[in-house]
Chains A and B, each alone.
Chain A
Amino acid sequence: MAHPVSPAPGLVNLFRVEDVINMARANSLWPLTFGLACCAIELMAGGAARFDLDRFGAGVFRPSPRQADLMIVAGTISRKMVPCIKTLYDQMPAPKYVIALGGCATAGGPFKYPGQYGILEGLDKIIPVHVYIPGCPPRPEALIAGILELQKLIKAGKTEGSLSPAVVNDSQNNRPAEYKNAISRAEFRKPPAPPVAPVAPQA
């Protein structure tokens, strides 16, 4: 990765325009209201009075993806939801940032097990993610830490994303599913055998 080029030292140090714009973008993140499951409640709590995301400029939640620049995906991504997320991501104008909030959006969370059929194991399999916030659900303080981390990334200009999932070769996926087979109904409904009377020891 190329290292950022620092301006030549001189008598007067002026900010480069890029730095100003990046600082502005970092301090004015407008999230998209997009909560999927349990983590959405912590996202709402993060925007509410006690934790107040608005202090960092990130409190203006816009309902339309055209006006938002931060997509915080909070919750498990089910099969049906996958095309929705991609559509919403495509509708957001550049520059856009993505935070994966919670274990489910990071890598499937507690719903990932060998034999699962319903969820996408991690958001980074379909869109590039900038910050992962683990937890089930993560506390609002963790969300604030994630947003501050994203602000650092933006100010440093390191936000080019590409699809490189965090979890690639997962040993979980190679294990066979341990589902049991069906049992017979007749067997199931047979009353339990009466307790066998203890056999008197042979003399």
Chain B
Amino acid sequence: MILNEILKIILYGTLVILFVSVNALFLVWMERRVSARIQLRRGPIHVGWQGLLQTVADAIKLLTKELVTPSHADKFLYWLAPVLVFAPAVAAFLILPLADHVVIRDLNIGFLFVFSLTNVSFIGIFIAGWSSNSKYALLGSMRAVAQNISYEIPLLLSTMGVVMMSETLKLSGIVSAQATTWFVFPQFLAFVIFIISALAEANRAPFDIPEAESELVAGFHTEYSGMRFALFFLGEYTAVFISSAIAAALFLGGWREPAVPWISLANLGPLWYLLKTYAIVFVVMWIRWTFPRLRSDQLMALAWKVLIPLALLNVFFTALMMQVFEK
């Protein structure tokens, strides 16, 4: 039994790491091509067919770069930070339901597990700026602290409506509860709030103030080079993917096919899930290249004065509607 478990852990672990790497490679390529198209240009097209090997070249280059440690940095924390940022994002793949009863570990706390782990990621960001012993990095970290704490609340509050309607925290249960209609229709406001908060949690523009390129040189990862920087990069893209995957599971019906009569490919569960996730990722990238950046105090005003009241209202309204329709 124990051997069985250990073999399963190794197998799933390897699969997840492989998937994360290939996915990150693909996502970075997608970002560069999507942004290029929005910006009237082509993007990487020469390295491999249509530039698909561009990220591979980037990865090899980053792997073979010199690792520089600033002279007065706190060495242990400086080493630890990128690991803390990247590892939890990988662990979040445990609970994603790929098809009916196909999931690595169907935890009964479901997506709360993911969000607790992303908080560990955020501690990594904080440690990165602190241990670098550089003013720019510290400014970036302080902004990250304020931002991530503020956006945790609307992120979780917006999912409460969904949880109430499906009466379980398990992701597989939530997907099953969307047999008749996807939750994006009754919970549209929650969907919007969730996407905005997820953007802020992943430090993506227009909320990328901790790594604001034009203001803070490179924010909290100013002093990181080579593979350590690559881990931050990977962590950010994986966080975007995870948030989109959870949004797809919570609101867009996960692996369920759309309920229209002429589509009846019920066995393509994982493919539908991937498609929905990438659709949300595409919208996230689209948003990045369209809007200017919010200033840190405006960002927090948005969270506390707009998103949290709206999310609370949504919870209240959902509860009311459930009472009314139960009778």
Binding site for B on A (CB under 8 A): 20-21, 23-25, 27-28, 48-50, 52, 54-57, 59, 62-64, 66-67, 69, 91, 93-95
Residues from chain A with Cβ under 8 Å of B68 in the complex? 66, 91, 93
Of the residues A28, A48, A94, contact of B54 by C-beta under 8 Å: A28
| Pairwise interchain contact B54-A27, C-beta atoms closer than 8 A | yes
Q: Which of B41-49, B121-129, B189-197 contacts A (4 or more CB under 8 A)?
A: B41-49
List 16 A–B pairs whose Cβ atoms lie within 8 Å, in order of A's numbering.
Answer: A23-B57, A24-B56, A24-B57, A24-B59, A24-B61, A27-B54, A28-B58, A52-B36, A52-B41, A52-B43, A56-B46, A59-B44, A64-B221, A67-B221, A69-B61, A93-B66
Identify B32's interface contact among A54, A67, A69, CB under 8 A. A54
Q: Could you count the A-B residue pairs with CB atoms below 8 Å apart for me: how many are there?
A: 94
Contact with A along B49-85 (1 / 0, CB 8 A): 0000010111111001111100000000000000000
A27 touches B57 (CB 8 A): yes
Tell me if B39 is interfacial: C-beta within 8 Å of chain A. Answer: yes
Q: How far is the CB of A94 from chain B (nearest CB, A)?
A: 4
CB < 8 Å: which of B39, B60, B214, B229 contacts A49? B39
Beyond the given A69-B65, A91-B68, A93-B67, could you list 4 further A-B residue pairs with CB under 8 A, ordered by the A residue number? A24-B59, A50-B41, A55-B41, A55-B45
In the bound complex, residues from chain B placing their C-beta under 8 Å from that of A69 are 61, 65
On whether the beta carbons of B46 and A57 are closer than 8 Å, the reply is: yes
Cβ of A23: which chain B residues have Cβ within 8 Å of it?
57
A91 to B132, CA, bound (A): 14
B279 close to A (CB within 8 Å): no
A28, A48, A54, A63: which contacts B57 (Cβ < 8 A)?
A28
**Do B42 and A52 touch (CB < 8 A)?**
yes
B46 to A95, Cβ gap below 8 A? no
B54–A57 CB distance below 8 A: yes
Contacts of B42 in A (CB 8 A): 52, 54-55
Whether a CB of chain A sits under 8 angstroms from the CB of B93 is no
Q: How far is the CA of A91 from the CA of B69 in the complex (A)?
A: 10
Contact call A94/B36, Cβ cutoff below 8 A = no
A54 to B43, CA, bound (A): 5
Bound-complex Cα distance A95 to B60 (A): 13
A67 engages B41 (CB within 8 Å): no
Whether, in the assembled complex, B130 has its beta carbon less than 8 Å from a beta carbon of chain A, the answer is no
CB neighbours (8 Å) of B153 from chain A are none
Structural contact, A54 and B64, CB atoms closer than 8 A: no
Are A54 and B44 closer than 8 Å at their CB atoms? yes
Contacts of B40 in A (CB 8 A): 49
Give me the 6 closest cross-chain CB pairs, A-B, nearest first.
A24-B60, A93-B66, A64-B218, A49-B40, A66-B225, A28-B57
